[in-house]
Structure 1
Amino acid sequence: MKAKAAEFGFAACGVARADAAPRTAERLRQWLAEGAHGEMIWMEARAHHRESPAALWPEVKSVIALGMSYAPASDPLALAGEGDVGRISIYAQGQDYHDVVKRALKALARWLVGELEGADVKVFVDTAPVMEKPLAEAAGLGWQGKHTNLVSRDHGSWLFLGAIYTTADLATDRGGSDTCGSCDACQQACPTNAFPAPYRLDARRCISYLTIEHAGPIPLEFRAAIGNRIYGCDDCLAVCPWNKFAEAAHANMAFAPRAELAVTYLADLLALDDAGFRQVFAGSPIKRIGRDRMVRNALIAAGNSGKAELVGMVAGLLDDPAAVVRGAAVWALSRLDQAHWMAERHERLVAEADENVVAEWV
């Protein structure tokens, strides 16, 4: 099975009993009770299914955990100081992992059905109510590090996870062992202090959450820390020492970065309309956030850029149909050109229609 999984592009494969991660339910309930999931209502809505594999499918006996590498060939933090570009998380620079991983899972599942006489299988990747990380740890793919993501001895922090549930009673692998030790590099690297303690994440402070899942105005306290990140954040993953063992040669070629996503200029993003957004991000996981949220993110990055040449484009978005874009433009203009911002504010930004926008953003 593991050899066949490798043929389908998986770099890691392991098996765990369906009940091998018993603390998952307790930890999930605590996280939700703290409100640390923010606006990710789906985490709460189907929490009962996430608590264990059997809660989702009572007949399941074994879980096959799979990992597909997207280890980057270059430094994920290389563009941190480039004010005119927006940084996109490594995982989103290539093809949509949902499609690539699910296609491979289905292919492996079809093979398994032929091998496991009378057994049923179900495949899951990301969008299903499955807690992939503790299951992957139980199956020996790695361990959940202090940044709460899976860490692998062989592939570092760069694995997309999927799972196959089966009614077959399979031989299991030894579970992963936490070897973070005293290292807290991921905690220290977080620009917004999203880790209240090791192994705990407050999504409401996480740049990935703020730029992807959060729909409204980004809270003022986080805007400067976002820097030029326009979709996700790699900082806590990129600094993990275990990444020295992750080889880009093991990465699935489907996740090779597209040139226009590896280096994305803010001026191009600020000019996007709906049609342009769909064209640029077709086939990418980025497409699901929509044009307005992407332009909001680009405006935050523009406000942090110090690039006076972006002032005209920012000012042009003060009349955008989307309130979240208008508000971000107000803030970005206040950072780039205080005199221009004051003039615009006196002339029209305090008009009745935009009073709430100004109050939220400035």
Structure 2
Amino acid sequence: MGPQLVRQIREWAVELGFSQIGIAGVDLSSAEAGLAAWLSNGFHGEMAYMQTHGLKRARPAELVPGTVSVITVRMDYLSDATPEGWQAVEFDRLNRPEEGIVSLYARGRDYHKVLRARLQKLSDRISAEVGPFGYRVFTDSAPVLEAELAARSGQGWRGKHTLVLNREAGSMFFLGEIYVDLALPASEPTSDHCGSCSACIEVCPAQAIIAPYRLDARRCISYLTIEHAGSIPEDLRPLIGNRIYGCDDCQLICPWNKFARRNALPDFDERTGLTGRQLVELFAWTEADFLTRTEGSPIRRIGHERWLRNVAVAMGNALRSHDDAVLRAALQARADHPSDLVREHVAWALS
């Protein structure tokens, strides 16, 4: 079960569309103090599952008994059609307040499905080679210290924004893991290459990166528009601008992302109807429209109510930049929406 098998796994992984694999051990005890402090400060916000599982996130062998190694994978997600100078193209969207911005990773097929299916195929190939073995696959699911495992297995280093950075690929990639009961030789971790750069900290619209390598999720626009279920704090609404699902600013500004790679998999091609669309049009979607337009997309998991909440906030921010009768009429049409959450954000936007 040595280097030869790891080389073989790497070849299969590349055939399946993964950009890189690494192997991590299961002793993450040195990460426990930082995790405990982050949780005790409440930086996880409403992501109760993080508190529920607590330190089990840092103990793979407790989460999946019998685990002795973790195979980590990364998969680049910029679509093949991504233009040169894409960071500037994306930043420019902020100058068009009546257009809704969806985070780059969410414009194609739901990555959970893409990665899970391919991780399963990779596991099947390993099984065909070594015989039945114990394993479990994860893609941004269950209590897994994903970035920590990725960094320990040589996928890159933790950037000051807390995301994993790779010298050859920036940070525009998804991570996945296979917990296995096979003893595999661990990969060499890479060193930190952020240096004195603090661009991600400075660009964050809501100052959610409160110190290098420390993120307060409760202020993060990705958290507020995706994970957070209730009312968005009023003081943070103006900072959201026209971002209606996620936020890429800390990645767009990062110098390492000039090396971000495209992926030829059609799964990551942009779906029509999500990029460059007017807020008024997106706000008019009925629940049936929302479910149809977001089928197979990660956006579907926030549901229609939160979608309307997010778009209403963006419309309010657009009205602040200049009053517009069409925006006002669209908001007014939903002023009596059955949802308290939608009504509250519509009233705020109109005010």
C-alpha contact 2:35 2:55 (8 A) present in aligned 1 = no
2:92 counterpart SS class: coil
Distance 2:78 2:92 in 1: 15
Structure 1 position 294 matched with structure 2 position 307? yes
Specify which structure has the bigger relative contact order, considering alpha-carbon pairs within 8 angstroms and separated by 6 or more residues: 2
Q: Look up the match of 1:324.
A: 341
Find the counterpart in structure 2 of residue 153 from structure 1.
167
2:56 & 2:276 partners in 1: Cα distance?
A: 39
C-alpha displacement of 1:30 = 0.8
Displacement of 1:45 in angstroms is 1.0
TM-score, length of structure 2 as denominator length: 0.91
**Contact 1:122/1:166 (8 A) holds in 2:** yes
- Secondary structure at the counterpart of residue 23 of structure 1: helix
Within a 5 Å distance, the mapping from 1:20-31 to structure 2 comes to 21-31=28-38
1:65 paired residue number: 72
Residue 193 of structure 2 corresponds to: 179
Cross-structure match for 1:205: 219
Unaligned runs of 5+ in 2: 1-8
Deviation at residue 114 of structure 1 after TM alignment: 1.7
SS state of the match for residue 256, structure 2?
helix
SS of residue paired to 1:77 = helix
Q: Hey, what does 2:118 align to over in structure 1?
A: 104
Correspondence for 1:281 among 291, 294, 307: 294
Is it true that 1:44 corresponds to 2:51 in the alignment? yes
AA aligned to 1:333 is L
Displacement, 1:118? 5.0
CA distance in 2, matches of 1:12, 1:261: 29
1:125 paired residue number: 139
| One-letter amino acid matched to 1:15 | I
Q: Structure 1: which amino acid aligns with 2:201?
A: Q
* Higher Rg: 1
Q: What TM-score comes out, normalization by structure 1 length?
A: 0.89
Which one of the candidate residues 1, 13, 16 is aligned to 2:24? 16
Q: Does 1:191 align with 2:199?
A: no
CA distance in 2, matches of 1:133, 1:47: 16
For residues 151 and 289 of structure 1, what CA distance do their matches in structure 2 show? 27
Work out whether residues 208 and 232 of structure 1, in 8 Å CA contact, stay in contact via their aligned partners in 2. yes
Unaligned runs of 5+ in 1: 335-362
Are the aligned partners of 1:84 and 1:307 in contact in 2 as well (CA < 8 Å)? no
Say whether the 8 Å CA contact 1:68–1:252 is kept in structure 2: no
Percent identical across equivalent pairs? 44
Give CA-to-partner distance per residue, 1:74-98, whole Å, 9 cap, x none: 3332311112211000110000000
Counterpart residue number, 1:356: none
